[in-house]
Structures are given as C-alpha cells and as structure tokens.
Structure 1
Amino acid sequence: MNPISSKLRPGIELIDPSDLDSGLMQTWRQLQAGNPLLRSPFFSLAFLQVVADVHSDVKIAILRDGDTIKGFFPFHRRPGARGAPLAAPIADYQGIVGEAPETVSPRDLLVACGLTTYDFDHALRDTPLFERNAFRRTGSPLIDLSDGIEAWRAGRMNSGSALKNVERKLRKMERELGPVRFETDDKAADTWTTFLTWKRAAIAAMGARFVLDQPWAMQVLERIRGTDQPEFSGRLSSLYAGDRLVAAHFGMRSENTWHWWFPTYDNAASRYTPGLGLLLHCVRQAAKEGLIEIDLGRGDERYKKEFANETRALCEGSLERGLTPPGAARRFRKFTYRTAETVLPPRYLDLKRRAFNRLLRAGEV
C-alpha cells in the first residue's frame, strides 16, 4: 500500500487512488448503487480514475463507522492546504460517495485530509455535513423518465408550448435544410473539432474563460470520450440536417443517468433551435435505453425549466478551520452573503458571490 495510506483520525483513512483494491472498488460501487441521489456519472469510480490519471493531487478519505465503510470522499489537495472537489470546476456533482458518519465533524475530516479549507458549490443538500455548512441553496433540473417518455412528454405539454415548438422547428429544419439525423455517439474527428470551436466561441461571446482550455480539463474530457463501459461512458451526440452539423453535445452516461454537460450549436441555424432539437432526440434515446433520467446540471436557463420535471437539491459553501486566516475568510464570506441576501437583487448577489470565489480561489484546481 502507498505510504500516504494511514489512519489519521478515528474512522478516517487517507489513501491514494492507486490504493483502491478490488474490495474497496466493490464497496464504492455498492454505495453508489444503494443511493438514487448518487446516480450521476460524476460519482462513478471510472470518473475518479480518469481524473486521478490526469491530476496527481487527488486523494481519497475512507469514512468508517467501526469496521464498516460508510463513504468515500475524493478531493484535490492543493497548495496551501486548500481542498477542492474532484474535477472542480467542471464537476456538476461533488462530495461523498456514501455518507459521513455522524461522529465525523468538519474539523475531523479536514485535519485527516491535511486541509485547512474545502470549498464546494455542487454538493448534495441531502448530505448533512455539507448542508449545515452551506450559504447558498440551488438545484439541478432533471428530466425524470422513470414513468416513461410519454408521461414526461404529457407533463411538459401541459406546462406550456415549448416542447411543441421544438418539435415544430425540427420539422421546419428538415423541410428547409434536409433530413434530420441524430447520432448518439458521434466518433467523427471533424464533429469533435467543430464542437470545441462552437463551444469556445459561445463562451468567448459571454466574456468568460473556456474551462476546457485548461490542459488537464481537456485531457479529462478526451479520456472520458474514449471510455465505453456498461456503468460509465462518454458521449458526443450530434444532430445533422442533411450533411450539415447543426448541434453537438458532450456528456457522460452512468448505468441510470445521462448527464447533459457541454451543449453547443451552429449559430447560423439558431432559428431552428437545433440545440433543443438535439436534447429532445437525446431524451428519446435515453428512453429507448431504459435510462431513468437526464440530468441537465445546475442552472436556471429557460430551456432547463421547460424540459425538466424534477430537481435535485444542491448547496454551496465550505468546510473550514475557523482559526486559520483562510478559514476566517470563508466564515466572513458566509456571513456577508447571508446578510446581502436580504437586501441585494439576485444579479448583484451573484456577482458578489463570484467575486468572493475568485478572491478565495474557491474550488480552483
């Protein structure tokens, strides 16, 4: 076993990803399968392994109650004893696979992991350790297909005309541009290149930094793209009108969940809403495969509200050792956010939150 592996706190053992033997891997998979809230591919063992192959600072805390493993806590240990969620900021779910025993306090976990702070912004609100230390509550919209695609479609039709408009525009695009063709997992190199070009341009138009321009993030995506296992795979889905590519999306699939991750489309075809047309085709494909849900990821974009019929509760906050300067800064952030929440409009509150995150390098890998 790697020298880092040691029991540093009662009930907490710190290991390297390479220390995961077949027994620990089986326990990980059992914990994920035993909790519907952990369906996301971000909680999959394969996702951890891909990220750990790219990033050497990934560690795992094994959380025990007596001799029973209750959870696995993967994280990045960054310089200055700053902890970050696995694959932040591209991870749409963060935290513990399983649960933390009630006897484990935030301080216990941080000390055992050699951390002063741990920032999170996509943690499950169902996890008490994170919910109690959060300053912001959010959610991830879901397309729940557990009752079948027709039940989902009927519910969306009753909620408005958005889905009907998407179907109408798909027919219009077919008439004007050519036959519509959907690829569940497009292997063409040109499609991947065009996908990245469109996504980079869309992010630049928003004045933001393209996260995939970080070499480690691109390496993670490329490795996921090359992974195809029953319980985990990457997918570059595409929509064509005639021979013309009009929309593409790269996401991940676990045994039960398809995660909507990086969508983009051809701006020149925007009047046909090809991105939404692609999403609708993905919903149909998910139903054919017997998937339970498509997770649209955190955000309040209009299309997510129109397509989603469920929401998974998330939270944002931090674990910190309050007597340290980084810990005190995070406690101050929580206090000021809660105070500002009562007086600032949402837009300015979000700007304040983002500014604090940049200052603290919260969740930065």
Structure 2
Amino acid sequence: MRSTSAITVHRPEELNEPLRRAWHRAMDESPDYANPFLAPEFTLGIGSHRTGVHVAVLHEQGEPVGFLPYERNACGVGRAVGLGLSDCQALVHRPGVGWDTRELLRACGLSVFEFDHLVAEQQPFTPYVTGTFASPVLDLKPAEGGYPEWLRATYPGLAKTTLKKERRLGRDAGEVRFVYDERDPRVLRTLMRWKSAQYRRTGRMDRFSRPWIVDLVDHFFQIREEHFTGILSVVYAGDRPVAAHFGPRSRTVFAAWFTAYDPEFGYYSPGLMMHLRLAWAAGRDGVTLMDMGRGQKEYKDWLKTRELRVGEGFAVRPHPVATAHRMWRRPVRGLRNTVLAHPGLRRPADRLLKTVGTLRTKGPAHTPGEAARAR
C-alpha cells in the first residue's frame, strides 16, 4: 500500500465541492465503500445535528484520496461518525492507499478512535479490532416480472405462506399495495411513532425520544443525491399503512435501517412482507446489495444470501485517556457480546427487556414530538 503524504482535518461544512467529488470517487472505485452510511451526505447530516464532527482527509501529491469521518469530544476521545446509528464505518479511500494509524490519530487530535461496524478491508486498523461479527446481506438480481413470480422463484419456502397472508390481509383490511418511494412526510411520522412504541415495548432505548434523531431522519428524508437518497417504503392495506421502512441507498447498496408495523396487523407478518417487497423493488431500481446490518434476527437468516464481517474495537496511541477509555468500555462491550452470542443467555435477556418494556408502556405513551417536549 502507498503511504499518504499529508493529512488535513475539516469540519463538515468545510467540505467543498471538489472534496465531496473526490469522496464520491473513492466510493465508486471500491464495492467495499459503496454503502450510503459511508457517503459524505451521511456525515454532513450528522454534523448538522451534533457537535464535534470532523473529517480527516488523506492526500497524495496534493490530491485527496481518503476520508475518515469521526466525532471528537473535549478529551480527545473519538468515535466513528454516527456510532450507534451507522451500520457501516470505514476510512473511505481510493485503491492502494495506506496510512499509519497512530499518525492518523495524532493528526486528528485523538488518543482513541472507537468503532463497531468497521469494514473488514481496513487493514491498518486490524491490530485494534477486538471482535468481528456477521452482517447479513442480500444479493439482489434484477427483478423481472411481478412480485409474486419473483417471490416464488427467490424464496420458494416463504412464498406460499407470505402470499396467503397478503391475500387474507387484502380481504380483511383492503387491497394490499406497496409504495417503494413514498414522499408523504406524515407516513414517516407514523413509522417513527410505531418504532418508538416498539422500542418501549421491547425494553430497548427509544431512539426517537431524542429530538436530534427525529430531526436527522427528517433531514435524510429530504436528501435525493446519487450516493445518498432517503427512501421511505410503505405497505398499505387500502389507504391504511400497515408496515413501513426508512433507510438510505447509494447507487448500488440499500441499507436496511428503521422498520416497524402497526401491531394491530401483527398476525399477517407485515414486517417480513415489508422486507420481501422492498428487496423486490430495490432490485428493480438498480440496487445490487441490501445490507441488513449487524445483529441476529430470524428474518435476516431467512433472507440473507451471505454475510459480510464487520469489526469493533479501539484504535489507540499511547495516552492516559486511551487507557482509561478502554478500561471503561471493553467490559461493557464484552458483557453485551457474550449475551448476544449465546441463545441461552439472549432469550432470558430478551424476556427481561420485554418485561421492562411492559412496565414502561403502562405509563403515558409519547410520540417523538411529545417526548421531545416532555424532556
């Protein structure tokens, strides 16, 4: 690998048009970096809603050839931009570009750089990876013909049950129809309301109780760029939405992000229905890969064609802050990963979270906007 000759650091708003074009070029030149979470538009969005966002730009002979977006706090602790929201992280670079990780951290003013969905190709970060995990993906072929024919050919085991439930949903609630790119912001609010209730019901942290995340999703919904477009997809029964998904797509990769459905229609498996129709429509729209993100879910096992590997860990350079941060964070991560990796532990943990969620939902429910006002 070639070593870079210079590193400059920029705030997101300082990324001019030539720098954004160079970033897009690096995405286009390697399938490892085609994910929309690696696009400059994602970093710009995070930067407009959170402080401390920066981008390190690697140069060769004066030409920008690599981009590392990150967030930095006052103590010099850094993390991948959008950590906790992003399902793909990397230093996006052109082929053959290399770097010295400690020199990179020094240029960024960081003692530690934390990541949890790092692209496996990032060899200079390999010594700092503490664990790798499966990230299921679905390879999409150009869909020919209608949805039922595609479903029977692609998922013969699921086709009969899914189509039967769709027909029953149509009889019970109105004609089933699917909109791949819905532009009605009211439906996006419905999705966030469903997702917020799901988080509460299952004992998870409610992301949409945080006003900045609500605003961020609203922002991404408005973006219609070649390397990042926010896509809201909806399954309707009659005029009523029963399931929805919002996520970004690039030229070739669709990132599964937020999926939820109306619990009143849970019998019909609307979440699975949503993912199947989304895969069919995305393939017709030119997407070649759907990234379903790290994490074990039954529907991912049904749909995946293969798995990528993503890494988590801490890149560090010698500094007391880095030592303290690792001592604090590693036990927490280790306990979480142990629980997630063992079904015998994961199932009781899920039951406990759902019990907590049941107690939560006995209190007054809030929409994302109401939660923001209540804080």
TM-score range, shorter chain: 0.7 to 0.9
**Cα distance per residue 1:44-81 (max 9 Å; x no partner):** 12222222222232111112345443310011112211
Unaligned stretches of 5+ residues in structure 1 = 1-8, 352-365
Aligned partners of 1:94 and 1:214: how far apart in 2?
22
Q: Secondary structure at the match of 1:229?
A: coil
TM-score (norm 1): 0.83
What whole-Å deviation, never above 9, does each CA across 1:298-330 have from its counterpart, x for those lacking one? 111010111111222211111122441433552
Please give the residue correspondences for 1:1-365 in structure 2 after superposition, counting only pairs within 5 Å.
11-98=6-93, 104-146=99-141, 154=153, 156-157=155-156, 161-327=157-323, 329-330=325-326, 346=342
* SS of residue matched to 2:204: coil
Larger displacement relative to structure 2 (138-147 or 199-208): 138-147
AA in 1 matched with 2:68: F
Distance in 2, Cα, partners of 1:237 & 1:335: 39
Q: Offset of 1:143 from its aligned partner?
A: 1.5
> How far has the Cα of 1:99 moved from its partner?
6.0
The question of whether the paired residues in 1 share the 8 Å contact of 2:182 and 2:232 is answered with yes
User: Does the aligned pair in 2 maintain the 1:183–1:239 contact within 8 Å?
Assistant: yes
Mapped partners of 1:198, 1:340: distance in 2: 26
**1:34: Cα distance to partner?**
0.5
Partners of 2:135 and 2:224 in 1: CA distance: 25
Q: Which runs of 5+ in 2 are unaligned?
A: 348-375
Distance 2:222 2:338 in 1: 47
SS in 2 for 1:228: coil
Q: Contact 1:341 / 1:349 at 8 angstroms: preserved in 2?
A: no
Please provide the CA RMSD for this pair: 3.1
Cα gap change, 1:192 to 1:256, in 2 (>3 Å): same
Contact 1:257 1:292 in 2 (8 A): yes
Percent identical residues = 29
Q: In the alignment, residue 169 of structure 1 is paired with which amino acid?
A: K
Cα pair 2:30 2:95 within 8 Å, conserved:
no
CA contact (8 A) 1:227 1:233 kept: yes
Q: Closer, same or farther in 2 for the Cα pair 1:21/1:102, shift >3 Å?
A: closer
The amino acid that maps onto 1:44 is A
Residue of structure 2 in register with 1:358 after alignment: none
